[in-house]
A and B are shown apart, each in its own frame.
Chain A
């Protein structure tokens, strides 16, 4: 090969070519070198959107699917009946439930059956919410709390005591009998609004020292303490806030 191939033509050398970029007017051409500061300058006068997480708690939307919560009826009995439909619905096999018998001496939920063991494995849970849809008693709902991270695997398997919501005013710590004259149907219909005196009398007789009897916030909190795993998670979260410079 002795001949060299010719270099390809540049666009403006091509016949019939015209640039599509419009020509700037004179003023724009003049300010063009500093136009980029416009965004920065205008934002100096707008409110800041940066989230100070973990220094401050994150703002999530109200229907965000966070960790689960096991709810109570207004008299303090648990809503969970241990039916395992949540475990059945779970696509990630993250929920383990064992049911137990309610007895006259130990009634935890209305009716005959209650959830004796309830575990959610947050190493598996994908927070899809199918379990809450399956729950026939609305015992299982989801909260906005998403801070589920820690240094151990065991710390991510939440037990019933970690998931169970605390007692609020008017409630009485189970086990205690159902409101006299009611069946589970009345509970489902929302006809039970608070613990009755008969229930308080029963608890007084069987557990005279029960802190939920006095009805104060401190008493209620003491009667339904936060579970160990949840407490550990709260500690981890609080530590992360401090590290992030929480005030």
Chain B
């Protein structure tokens, strides 16, 4: 470990800690007393919150700080005295629900602690609630962490006066494959229905029937006598009515055990669990989570509470998809290929073999490094340093997706070295948000919720430059600027005040508003000129520009310099002042001589034996546009080292496999899309090490000292390094290309990854997989009409075809949208096409008719 001073070089840390945001001072306050204690709160504060601030607990079920008050459960009754019209203090005639009335000046609130009336009312409400609540606490998942259980003890009777039977329902009802509903446990607090309506907007449960039979239900007419109009939503993979990406939140906020998840049902009791706060690894949002584990096994994950990032919500993918980390195919020992077979060997032997192979490969063309986009900042930094110091190359690229030179320049110019330039705080304060090449619900679930909160409050409008109006865009009331993939640049460049196209004129006007944010997604790399056009639009209009990747490690990797043109901290690669700074900290002498190559060129070079070897982290060939070609390259390359958690298509071809720890088994820091460091602790005891530790040992075996064996060592070095204040790589300025002509029977392919798909991170979670959206192709009405309004379409290229049901949506003409990686429609594997390619399209029942 190093003992050098930790003064950042350029005065700023590489990834500075997020600033603490203070709540703004309230404009208007009121003063009241609760149980005789005086308190001053901002105007509009609910009585129950004022009591909370004083440390007075009022029992409640329906109240939730992030949902609008409803006063449904009536448990929080208090006695209220308030000045009347004549100014005299008068008691309200009946007890009042403290979760639904706002504090006023001079109000005197008496809770159950000082008022017999409030206490009697609360006990009576509790008795009414318990009249129909089953005594099945021993088998209820909520037992032990149940607000009803706790409050029945603190504010209820100790005996029951109920003689008759209790309400009995068939149980449980499958609201979706994952969400189970036990109606007899429900206290009708409506937290779930309000969440669906106010937060997620994809209503999958609602109150049904009236009076004593009132109950929560899905919209399945076979189970309930539901005769109303079911809201329009997308079908899930089981053919059920609803596919929601946020349904797990209803389970977490249910104050009783009425909503439970199939994956956790009966798995454990709260008192078995050890909780570790952590950060979700499935998207670039950096959502705070709580990992609950028992005897070294993760049993569930809950949303953590971070008001700056994910508030209190979490996507279903981040909540439920954790079994990949301890799947059957976990790699437990280092392995070396002997006679074509991988055999388990000692670490010493594996490292020696890897070191020898890499040394040889360096002599025969060099080694390319593909770390993958799911790494922590520390691991990405270790790859970056390993490539430059040990392998002496700039051939490093963490991007396992469609890339372009334009994007490489964009990342170096606009993203790297500027953490926290645009944050969630800027985002929710923006009057207008323009989304280009980014689908907030699928590619950043929490991003969608943060936007929707403001759209619903009426303080934000959203414009989406996309091929189609997705279900998420519809719920954001987004203005769609239909753009066939590849034409984004043209449209963004056309967005000038007074443009002929009213949609573009409106876009220009909105982008020019004070505080507007332009959000570009990683997919835009596949659209020539689009990122340049976004930069041009941002410069023209003064809007903030944010790049939102999909994977958890992408932003951290950009900061750590795992790109061919970047060194850590946004320093441009190559000789010069930036390298001198690096060389001082790294103790390295020579800068890598050749310019680095991006992932596609690295793979081509590996295939052509131009490169002697590859060092690959968490990369799945299926993530790259031509998986077969990637597999070929991995087969052909002289020497392949794989650092992996689980067996994969890469380890199957690797010469040396070194096991590394998944996020639950290591500490580290994800950097989310904002550039906000999201440090997390190790949840489980592990026999595996982080990538940075393995790379450190590999470097030692190769005769180099990397000095990154511990997290502290990495942090010390990152702090010494600091950020870069010199000149950045030049911004890309690629002109908008001429769009391709689309012949009859052809269409431009549009595609993005759905939140729930065939990704390996969701392996082992069948319940979750069945809540994924059912696969459909989207076309516009005109495109469908040209095909003869078929039920299914066949989309084909020279390399293959897929046939999927078709759905007509509001979108650009001559474009067909397919999910990139759905279980039954894998664009890269089946079609070997990327968004923007022209594909053949035909109604699949055409041939039958002929």
Contacts and interface: CB of A to CB of B under 8 A. Distances in A.
A112 B139 contact: yes
B450 to A, nearest CB: 36
Interface of B: 138-139, 143-144, 171-172, 265-269, 271-272
B293 to A, nearest CB: 14
Contacts of A101: 265-266
A111 interface: yes
Given A81-B138, A81-B139, A113-B139, A100 B266 contact: yes
Contacts of B271: 84, 88
Interface in A69-84: 81-84
A113 B266 contact: yes
Interface string A115-146: 00000000000000000000011000000000
Given A84-B272, A99-B268, A113-B266, 7 more contacts: A81-B138, A83-B269, A84-B269, A85-B138, A88-B269, A99-B266, A101-B265
Interface string A81-96: 1111101100000000
Nearest to B265: A101
In terms of DSSP, what is the predominant structure of the interface of chain B?
loop
Interface residues of A, number: 16
Contact of B266 (A82, A87, A136, A137): A82
Contacts of B269: 83-84, 87-88
A84 B143 CA distance: 11
A84 B139 CA distance: 9
Nearest to A81: B139
A87 B266 CA distance: 15
Contacts of A98: 267-268
B267 A83 contact: no
A87 B268 CA distance: 12
A98 B265 CA distance: 12
B139 A83 contact: yes
A85 B271 CA distance: 10
Contact of B267 (A87, A99, A112): A99
Contacts of A136: 138
The 4 residue pairs across chains A and B that have the minimum distance between CB atoms: A83-B138, A99-B266, A113-B139, A136-B138
A111 B135 CA distance: 13
21 contacts: A81-B139, A82-B266, A83-B143, A84-B269, A84-B271, A84-B272, A87-B269, A87-B272, A88-B271, A98-B267, A98-B268, A99-B139, A99-B266, A100-B266, A101-B265, A101-B266, A112-B139, A112-B172, A113-B139, A136-B138, A137-B138
A65 B69 CA distance: 54
A190 B275 CA distance: 40
A97 to B, nearest CB: 9
Contacts of A83: 138-139, 143, 269
A88 B271 CA distance: 7
Contacts of B171: 112
Interface of A: 81-85, 87-88, 98-101, 111-113, 136-137
A111 B272 CA distance: 22
Which of A81, A82, A84, A101 has most B Cβ within 10 Å? A84
A222 to B, nearest CB: 30
Contacts of A100: 266
A165 B173 CA distance: 34
**Candidate in B139, B143, B172 with the most chain A CB atoms within 10 angstroms:** B139
Contacts of A88: 144, 269, 271
Contacts of B267: 98-99
> Residue among B143, B172, B265, B269 with the most chain A CB within 10 A?
B269
Contacts of B172: 112
Contacts of A82: 139, 266
B687 to A, nearest CB: 23
A21 B74 CA distance: 84
A83 B257 CA distance: 14
A189 to B, nearest CB: 12
Nearest to B294: A98
A239 B524 CA distance: 78
A98 B266 CA distance: 8
Contacts of B272: 84, 87
Contacts of B144: 88
A101 B180 CA distance: 13
A113 B171 CA distance: 12
Contacts of B266: 82, 99-101, 112-113
Nearest to A82: B266
Given A84-B272, A88-B271, A111 B139 contact: yes
Nearest to A83: B138
Nearest to A101: B266
B91 to A, nearest CB: 44
Contacts of A99: 139, 266-268
Nearest to A134: B138
Nearest to B262: A101
Contacts of B139: 81-83, 99, 111-113
A81 B141 CA distance: 13
A136 B138 CA distance: 7
A100 B139 CA distance: 11
A81 B265 CA distance: 13
A247 to B, nearest CB: 47
Contacts of A87: 269, 272
A112 B262 CA distance: 13
A21 B720 CA distance: 94
A84 B271 CA distance: 9
Nearest to A109: B139
A243 B320 CA distance: 58
Nearest to B295: A96
A137 B172 CA distance: 21
A202 to B, nearest CB: 21
Contacts of A85: 138
Contacts of B268: 98-99
Nearest to B143: A83
Nearest to B165: A185
A149 to B, nearest CB: 27
B296 to A, nearest CB: 13
A111 B171 CA distance: 10
B801 to A, nearest CB: 40
A183 to B, nearest CB: 8
Contacts of A111: 139
B274 to A, nearest CB: 14
A82 B266 CA distance: 8
Residue of B138, B171, B267, B269 ringed by the most chain A CB atoms within 10 A: B138
A216 B172 CA distance: 38
B150 to A, nearest CB: 15
B187 to A, nearest CB: 20
Nearest to A84: B269
A99 B269 CA distance: 9
Contacts of A112: 139, 171-172, 266
Nearest to A85: B138
B533 to A, nearest CB: 54
Nearest to A100: B266
A83 B266 CA distance: 8
B163 to A, nearest CB: 15
A82 B268 CA distance: 9
Nearest to A136: B138
Contacts of B138: 81, 83, 85, 136-137
B1 to A, nearest CB: 38
A114 B575 CA distance: 67
A84 B137 CA distance: 11
Contacts of A84: 269, 271-272
Nearest to B144: A88
A73 B500 CA distance: 80
A64 B100 CA distance: 57
A223 to B, nearest CB: 26
Nearest to B138: A83
